[in-house]
Amino acid sequence: MILTIAAKEIRALFNSPLAWLVLTVVQVILGYGFLKRLDDFLQIQPQLAQLASPPGVTELVAAPTFATAAAVLLFAVPLLAMRLIAEERRNQTMALLLSSPLSMTQIVIGKFAGLMGFLLLLVLITLALPLTLAANTSLDYGLLASLALALLLLAASFAAVSLYTSCLTAQPIAAALLAFGLLLAMLFMGETAGDSLRGRGWQVPAALAQVLSPLRNFEPLGKGMIDSWAIACPLLLTAAFLVLAVRRLDGRRLRG
């Protein structure tokens, strides 16, 4: 059932120009950034060679590319997710799902899985850029895997937040703006509040701020540190917003 809904969502995405546009724009932005950094890397390579343990091409070229992809996701995911529930409500097609033998959880997970299928594609095309270098140089595959995992986790948490805001309104654009605003607020909070809380020695609120701050957990993984807390935080955030989405939809059924 979940797969049926997910497959339908992926097909709906590719039926609309939005998905193709996002893929194109992302590839152009990432491709440009990647080539620029590769160019810079080749110029400074002689100087790097004089260092005792010089940073490799994966660290200097691939890692920034993934960071750019993370920033792009902040804009792209709310746009890709906005229709998930909001459009069903606007077109009054929600009744098809609600009168089918499905639980609300299956509906939400199905929608989420469909979006993640598409985002996995985005992660893969990001990963493809540094992999083009594999023919001529040796890459740090451990770091690449860690970067890809970090990007995927980030995408999942962005997707869950955006799916939740899509349950709040019947206007897809409003859902996208809400998601964008909420994600930005969470980023700022994680950056500033997290630090000041930890500075005062309040460990629990600081940990909570970290859960709510997707980009903060991106950093350790982006450096190749497989930190289990940094993996757990985005997963917790994702689960929390999926539960909120289920509750929200159940609430709509109760209140009408």
Partner 1 sequence: MTSPPAEPTLSAQNLVRSYGKHLAVDGISIEVRRGEVLGLLGPNGAGKTSTMQMLTGNLAPSGGTIRICGIDLLDDPVAAKARIGYLPETPPLYRELNVSEYLHYAARLRRVPRARCAAAVDRALARCGLGEVSRKLIGALSKGFQQRVGIAQAIVHEPELVILDEPTVGLDPNQILDIRALVRELGDNHSVMLSTHILSEVEAVCDRVQILHHGRAVFASSIAGLREFQRGRTVMLSLQRPPAVEVLRAMPGVAAADAEGDGRFRLRFAADADPTAEIVSRAGREDWGLRELAPAQTTLEEVFVQLTRNDPAAQARP
> What's the token pair of residue 127?
């990963």
- Cα distances (Å, whole numbers) of residue 195 to 150, 201, 210: 21, 10, 9
Query: Is 29 an interacting residue with respect to partner 1 (CB under 8 A)?
Result: no
Residue from 51, 95, 135, 204 binding partner 1 (CB under 8 A): 95
What single string gives the DSSP state of each residue in 72-134? HHHHHHHHHHTHHHHHHHHTT-HHHHHTSS--HHHHHHHHHHHHHHHHHHHHHHHHHHHHGGG
The answer to whether residue 93 forms part of the interface with partner 1 (CB under 8 A) is yes
170 near partner 1, judged by CB under 8 A: no
Contact stretch for partner 1 (CB under 8 A) within 30-38, 101-109, 183-191, 220-228: 101-109
CB 194 within 8 A of CB 210: yes
204 with 181: CB under 8 angstroms? no
- Asked if 254 is part of the footprint of partner 1 (rule: CB under 8 A), the reply reads yes
* Nearer to partner 1 among residue 62 and residue 94 (C-beta): 94
Report the residue number, 16 or 196, with the smaller CB distance to partner 1: 16
- Is residue 97 a contact point for partner 1 (CB under 8 A)? yes
**Of 99, 136, 137, 228, which one interacts with partner 1 (CB under 8 A)?**
99
- Residue 192 binding partner 1, by CB under 8 A: no
Figure out which of the listed residues 15, 45, 138, 192 binds partner 1, where binding follows CB under 8 A: 15
92 binds partner 1 (CB under 8 A): yes
Q: How far is the CB of 101 from partner 1 (least distance, A)?
A: 4
When the beta carbons of 49 and 95 are compared against partner 1, the nearer one is 95
Contact flag: residue 17 with partner 1 (CB under 8 A): no
Check: CB of residue 131 under 8 Å from CB of residue 34. Answer: no
Q: Which two tokens stand for residue 65?
A: 């590319």
Residue from the set 91, 132, 192, 203 that interacts with partner 1 by CB under 8 A: 91
Q: b or e along 130-149 (b: 16 or more beta carbons within 10 Å of the residue's beta carbon)? A: beebeeeeebbeebbebbbb
Residues 6+ apart with CB under 8 A from 123: 69, 148, 151, 152, 155
State which amino acid sits at residue 106.
Q
Q: How far apart are CA 78 and CA 180, in angstroms?
A: 6
In whole angstroms, the minimum distance from the beta carbon of 12 to partner 1 comes to 7
Does the protein bind partner 1 through residue 21 (CB under 8 A)?
no
Q: Does 253 participate in binding partner 1 (rule CB under 8 A)?
A: yes
Q: Which residues bind partner 1 (CB under 8 A)?
A: 1, 4-5, 8, 12, 15-16, 91-103, 253-254, 256
